[in-house]
Amino acid sequence: MADAAFPVTVFHNPACGTSRKVLAAIETAGLTPEVVDYVKTGWTREQLTDLFAAMDKTPRQLMRTTGDLVTDLGLLDPAVSDDALLDAMVEHPILVNRPIVKTPKGVKLCRPVETVQDLLPG
């Protein structure tokens, strides 16, 4: 359960070293975040649309561009629409770059790890 005074949500992939380091940095700051293992729970189109809007980013800007899946699906082609990218991200949650952190200070893709500090109190 996230802290009521300063709620933090981490959209986390436990297999990702950067994601684990961001989670540790939040906990070191004395916060107890809500951790969403999006690889297991998946994404909804609305959830992604809201997060991307809060970050002022497009699906293409937050898509993982490494790995076989993105290439196999042909998603690196600039002609692929944002709608098609969103559909692919909902179907294959791993296509969303991570970790994404949401706090009262905003929402960011926290790569590099130090980026999370902008979202923490203090």
Query: Which active-site residues does the annotation give?
Result: 16
What's the rounded Cα separation, in Å, for the pair 58 and 48?
A: 10
Give the residue among 108, 90, 89, 87 at the shortest CA–CA distance from 99.
108
Nearest residue to 103 via CA among 39, 40, 22, 49 = 22
Residue type, 109: L
CA 78/CA 64 separation, integer angstroms: 14
The one-letter amino acid code at 96 reads V
